[in-house]
Amino acid sequence: MPYTLINGKEVSEKVLEQIKQEVVQLKQAGKKTPHLAAVLVGDNPASMAYVNSKIKTCERVGITSSLIKFETDVTEQTLLTKLEELNNNADIDGYIVQLPLPKHISEQKIIESIKPNKDVDGFHPVNVGKLVLNLPTYISATPYGIIQLLEYYKIPTQGKHCVVIGRSNIVGSPMSILMAKNTQYANCTVTLCHSKTENIKQYTLAADIIIAAIGKPNFVTADMVKQGATVIDVGINRIASPDTKSGYKLVGDVAFDEVAQKCAYITPVPGGVGLMTIASLLKNTLLAAKKEIYK
């Protein structure tokens, strides 16, 4: 059956255009320009590329951005002192600390040191708790992006069985909560699978919607997917490829070519969920600047 490709580029462009217009309106009304700061520790190429992409996108939509860089051997205390500074800087509406951090720094301690009203990544326990309790909050950018994709393509979710593969605090866990919510593009019966799930195939074969976020290249294969399913691939994995100039290529957690043939809807990698993550982060930054969640 012919499948519909979920085009993250198209949807993210529309979201960014909307943000751009709202930023213009804020400026015309004499209000401050939204300001996003990013804290980067070390020189992990993937983290650097991601942060640079965020900065470029901020520029495109008229959001002010700041990059604060530290060497890999920065002490935890130095980092915490900088976060305290950002918490108290009234000009910065929201900020993110790019993960992963070096082993000698506690990610949990860092996340908990970000002021909840500036935590546009939605990782602080206060914001996670608000998400669970269905209170207004910053939703983690990737899950938020996925919900917007479902909405844009008007993919039926009510009463459907959704299987989320992966239980990370960044994607899997919040995604499972969002898909079970009593909202138009959710209301699913949700099964959360992970690396310890036995016979995962029995769950995925019963799924109307599969959201794969396990971080294993081509993990989801055609024999795991029922005809007419919607498959959302969150994975971004670099694998060796003799066919490319760089010697590697990006693939998702889903074996796209074989799985697509069975799908009603599927996201590609790249060009799917990843682009929505940055757009959603900037949407959260705009909410922070407008003081719509934390008055």
User: Which residues are the active-site residues?
Assistant: 54, 98, 121
In the chain, % helix, strand, coil (3-state, to 5) comes to: 40, 20, 40
Q: From CA 267, how far away is CA 260, in angstroms rounded?
A: 9
Cβ atoms of residues 165 and 213 within 8 Å: yes
Three-state secondary structure call for residue 91: coil
Q: Is the dihedral of CA 250, 232, 58, 74 positive or negative?
A: negative
Instruction: State which amino acid sits at residue 260.
Output: A
Candidates 233, 235, 226; CA nearest to 264 is 226
Question: CA 234, CA 212: separation in Å to the nearest integer?
Answer: 6
Opening angle at CA 235, ends 230 and 241, nearest 5: 115
